A = this chain, B = another copy of it.
Amino acid sequence: MDHGMTEQLNVQQMAQRLMTADNILILCHKNPDGDTIGCGSALYCALKALDKNVAVLCSDAIPNRYAFTNAHMFKGEFEPQTVVAVDVASVQLFGENNGMTQFSRHVDLCIDHHAGNSGYADFTLLNGSAAAAAELLYEVINAMGVAITPHIADCLYTGLATDTGCFRFSSTTANTHIVAAKLIEAGCHVEELNTLLFDTKPRERMEAERIARNHLEYYLDGRCALIYLTRDEIEQSGVDPADLEELTSLPVSIEGVKVGLTLRQQPGGSYRISVRTAKGVDACAIARRLGGGGHSRAAGCELLGNLENAKNAILAEVEAELDAPQEEA
């Protein structure tokens, strides 16, 4: 993996650089998730505790469910001297709104857990085996000698829990649980956060899921399951399209299913296809054949044409992959 011209730092070195900096601007990635926002807010509080000028910048609006993190958003109140990115794997992910491009051109520090981090920052703390950037940032804040307040713990727990599907995803390690324990001991509101993050779904989301479940279809002797939503259905349900991400894990969760497909019609009429696979089946190989890409268990592609064409095209590739001779491990 090429990590560009960046210099790799360890936790102590990153803490040292943050402690000697001031007028610090923290950058989150676009379409912000719980990890980038939780880290932005936690680092904001930690640096504020050290009496520094600090603010957070994000190209997109902070979703309501993360409003409680209450980060101070940058409004030009100081001249940023140190720019630090949290949970951002590459420059493209900064986005272009809210004056982002002015600052994302030159990033001083980066704290990240994406193994593919492009190395765009001058100095990077990267740990690809951390389940969330928050898992790493917890160590950095400790190394800065700043107390983990209940609010900082809430922000870091949000990053840790959302990036792991509440400790369910395969990225979860012993250290992830150890950090969760430390955050609970530090006073994070684990009960309220779990309800907010995992058990609170908008009505519109429920309606879209109802429609998608009514469209559940099985193929290839039950080895493939497929759901879909047309543009009309998405619009009639009133769902925020960002809230549909989670649906993509539904078809592959059915017993016996090796490949789960979710087809969502885009505003232009094309179908965005999310491919999720059971262990041992390569999602990326399927998506790549149709011009897409991704990871081994989660990949995607986009197909022009109507629903029937899109289904037939993707199902043909699923069948080819499932019936391909298995490579030696």
Chain A residues with CB under 8 Å of chain B are 166-170, 172-175, 177-178, 180-182, 184-185, 190-192, 194-195, 198-203, 206, 209-210, 213-214, 216, 218, 222, 249, 252-256, 278-279
Contact = CB atoms under 8 A, between A and B. Distances in A.
Contacts of A182: 174
A216 B203 CA distance: 10
Given A173-B184, A177-B178, A216-B210, A201 B255 contact: yes
Instruction: Specify how many copies of this chain sit in the oligomer.
Output: 2
A253 B201 contact: yes
Contacts of A192: 279
A184 B174 contact: yes
Contacts of A218: 203
B199 A253 contact: yes
Contacts of A195: 278-279
Nearest to A183: B174
A301 to B, nearest CB: 23
B253 A200 contact: yes
Contacts of A184: 172-174, 177
A181 B174 contact: yes
A248 to B, nearest CB: 12
Top 8 closest pairs, chain A to chain B, by CB: A177-B181, A170-B191, A174-B184, A174-B181, A177-B177, A177-B180, A199-B253, A167-B167
Contact of A167 (B166, B170, B199, B206): B166
A264 B192 CA distance: 29
**Max count, chain B CB within 10 A of own CB: residue among A168, A190, A214:** A168
